[in-house]
Structure 1
Amino acid sequence: MAAILTDDVLEQARHGDSGALTAIYQNLAGPVHGYLAAKGLEDPEAAAQEVFLTVFARLADVTGGVAGLRKFTFSISHARMVDATRARARAPRIVEYEPAVDPRVETSPQDELLAQLESGHLAQALDSLVSDQRECVMLRIVAGMTIDETADIMGKSAGSIKQLQRRGLLSLKKTLEEVDGDD
């Protein structure tokens, strides 16, 4: 069980206390990894490790106590995700041809149904959102960020974040209802 993250623990971590650094990692690693994985990074664990190396190296820069630490950590996570997305766009990954997984091969209706049941529809519904709505929902719901933290990370006002979240959740609900209705 992770120690409770408090301003005192943050202050101890700034002075190099290994127990305090461990408490920070244990409290934030799961949400950071979840955020990076949900954003589709190829190696979210490695990216999360990079995030914490940066966070620990720059603890002196953190202001605002534990809330400031969370915002700082997810700002770095967001930046790593953007960097990885840009790098992937510049240098696409080359993979060998595998006929067994070639999407151009038609599958049977039974195989398609089994694949839909196994994969779930949430990822598909998230992909249907506008990028800002998807980012807002990911930060608010997956990462557990507050409206103000999300607004700072995305460079938008709190009111914009509220609207993006509301519209994104309504769109998700509609898409999931349509998918469930098609089944």
Structure 2
Amino acid sequence: MTVVTHDNELARRARRGDPEAAADLLTRIRPGVLRYCWAHLGSLGRGDQTPDDVAQDVCLAVFEALPRYQDRGLPFTAFVYRVAAHKVADAHRGASAATTRPIETVPEPIDDGWSPERHAVTADLSRRLLPLLDDLTAAQREIIVLRVAAGLSAEEVGAVIGKSPAAVRMTQSRALARLREWARQHAPDEVVA
């Protein structure tokens, strides 16, 4: 069973109320959603939401919408990353209107299994890579984030953004060439290939 078929089957079972399928589905989608949010929001997040907060909102929204989900032959990940794109956009809008306000209590951190070192490395990598993504077109940026950060296949990305897998691969190739050229110009000693 392919990953796409497996995810769609898990979604159907979770929709029917199977708690084991719901848990398996969450385990499968959360890491990619988290990477997607980190890639779009950076290490500090936007406003009062961190990438981890937004990823949690995405997972919650996916499961709240699951009773209305209909398998139309597309990968379930297309549904997930459409929700993620809306939540990331909401976080960006919220950051624009964010105001500082005191909080009553500090929430407990979510145990994502990452060590403090991994969080630090991820934050540093996000801080250094996000300016590179700003040099891409919006379509190129979204494809790179979905392919590299979220780990989706070209077919899955195509389903998310409404393009053919071939168009996704072509746009990805152009984006990577643009990033390589930028890196050659700005950090020639660090470029390997």
Does TM, scored on the shorter chain, surpass 0.5? yes
Cα offset, 1:56, TM superposition: 1.6
SS of match in other structure, 1:58: helix
Contact 1:62–1:69, Cα closer than 8 Å, also in 2: no
Contact 1:33–1:44, Cα closer than 8 Å, also in 2: yes
- Select which of 88, 99, 114 maps to 2:95: 88
1:149 aligns with 2:156: yes
Question: Using the alignment, how far apart are the partners of 1:8 and 1:157 within structure 2?
Answer: 23
Superposed CA deviations along residues 101-130 of structure 1, whole A, max 9, x for unmatched, are xxxxxxxxxxxxxxxxx9454333223222
Cα offset, 1:162, TM superposition: 3.0
Superposed CA deviations along residues 67-93 of structure 1, whole A, max 9, x for unmatched, are 63211111100111112222323x155
Aligned to 2:84: 77
Aligned to 2:71: 63
Aligned to 2:130: 123
1:23 aligns with 2:24: yes
Residue ranges of structure 1 left out of the alignment (5+ in a row): 96-117
Aligned to 1:37: 38
Question: Residues 81 and 16 (structure 1 numbering): CA distance in 2 closer, same or farther, change over 3 Å?
Answer: same
- Residue identity matched to 1:149: E
Question: Residues 142 and 12 (structure 1 numbering): CA distance in 2 closer, same or farther, change over 3 Å?
Answer: same
Question: Residues 127 and 19 (structure 1 numbering): CA distance in 2 closer, same or farther, change over 3 Å?
Answer: same
Cα offset, 1:180, TM superposition: 2.8
Cα offset, 1:158, TM superposition: 4.5
1:46 aligns with 2:47: no
| Higher RCO structure (Cα 8 Å, ≥6 apart) | 2
- Residue identity matched to 1:14: R
Question: Residues 166 and 75 (structure 1 numbering): CA distance in 2 closer, same or farther, change over 3 Å?
Answer: same
SS of match in other structure, 1:181: coil
TM-align CA RMSD: 2.9
Question: Which structure has the bigger radius of gyration?
Answer: 1
Residue ranges of structure 2 left out of the alignment (5+ in a row): 1-5, 102-122
1:140 aligns with 2:141: no
Contact 1:125–1:172, Cα closer than 8 Å, also in 2: yes
Question: Residues 161 and 17 (structure 1 numbering): CA distance in 2 closer, same or farther, change over 3 Å?
Answer: same
What TM-score do you get using the length of structure 2 for normalisation?
A: 0.67
